[in-house]
Chain A
Amino acid sequence: MREKAIVLEVNKKYCTVLTSGGDFRKVRMRGVFSAGQEICLPDNGPGVYRYALAAACLAFFIITAGLWKFWTLPAVAAYVCLDINPSVEMALDRDSVVRGVNPLNEDGENLVAGLDLKGKDVREAVEGLIGAATDKKYILPGEENVVMSSVIPAEDQSGSPEMDLLVKQSIENSLQRKNIQAEVVVVNASPVVREEAGKAGMSTGRYMLYLNARERGADVSPADFKNKSIRIIEKEQKIKISEIEKNTPGHGKGTIREQGRPTGEKSVDSGADSQKPASVQSGGTGKPGGGGWKSGGDKQQGGQDNSGSGSRKDDSGNNQNKGKDASGGNSAGHGDKGNGSNRGGNAKSNGSSGSAVSGDNGGTSGGVSSEHSQGGGGSSDKGSSEHSQGGGGSDKVDSSSQTGSGKDKFNLQVW
Chain B
Amino acid sequence: MMPFRIKIKDGGTGGGLAGPKGSEKVLPEDILEKMLALIRNGDCQARENLIAEFRPFIARAANKFCGRGLEWDRDDELSIGLIAFNEAIDRFDEKRGVPFPAFARLLIKSRLMDYIRKQSRHTAVSGGSLDDTEGCGLSNHELSRAWDIYLDQESAREREEEIAEYKKFIGQFGITFDDLVRCSPKHRDARATLLRVARVLAGDELLFSQLMSTGKVPVLALTRQAEVNIKIIERGRKYIIATSLIWRHCEEFLYLCSFIRLPGKESGR
Contact = CB atoms under 8 A, between A and B. Distances in A.
Given A22-B243, A34-B156, A37-B156, A6 B163 contact: yes
B151 to A, nearest CB: 14
Contacts of A9: 163, 167, 177
Interface in A6-29: 6-9, 16, 18, 20-26
Contacts of B116: none
A21 B195 CA distance: 10
B191 A22 contact: yes
B181 A25 contact: yes
Given A8-B177, A9-B177, A35-B159, A20 B259 contact: yes
Contact of B184 (A20, A25, A38): A25
Given A20-B261, A21-B188, A24-B180, A36 B195 contact: no
By CB atoms of chain A within 10 A, which of B161, B163, B178, B243 has the most? B163
Nearest to A7: B163
A26 B178 CA distance: 8
Interface string B156-180: 1011111110110000000001101
Interface residues of A, number: 19
B143 interface: no
A6 B259 contact: yes
Interface in B129-171: 156, 158-164, 166-167
A4 B260 CA distance: 10
Interface string B186-200: 101001101100000
A36 B255 contact: yes
A37 B181 CA distance: 18
A4 B99 CA distance: 14
Given A6-B163, A6-B256, A9-B167, A16 B156 contact: no
A18 B259 contact: yes
A127 B106 CA distance: 99
A18 B263 contact: no
By CB atoms of chain A within 10 A, which of B181, B186, B256, B259 has the most? B181
Contact of B156 (A21, A22, A25, A36): A36
Contacts of A8: 163, 166-167, 177
Contacts of A38: 97, 159, 259
B47 to A, nearest CB: 28
B177 A16 contact: yes
A215 B97 CA distance: 98
Given A36-B255, A38-B97, A20 B260 contact: yes
Contacts of B260: 18, 20, 22
Top 6 A-B pairs, shortest CB-CB distance: A36-B159, A24-B180, A36-B160, A24-B184, A16-B177, A35-B163
14 contacts: A6-B163, A6-B259, A9-B163, A9-B167, A16-B181, A22-B184, A22-B194, A22-B243, A23-B186, A24-B177, A24-B242, A26-B181, A37-B159, A38-B259
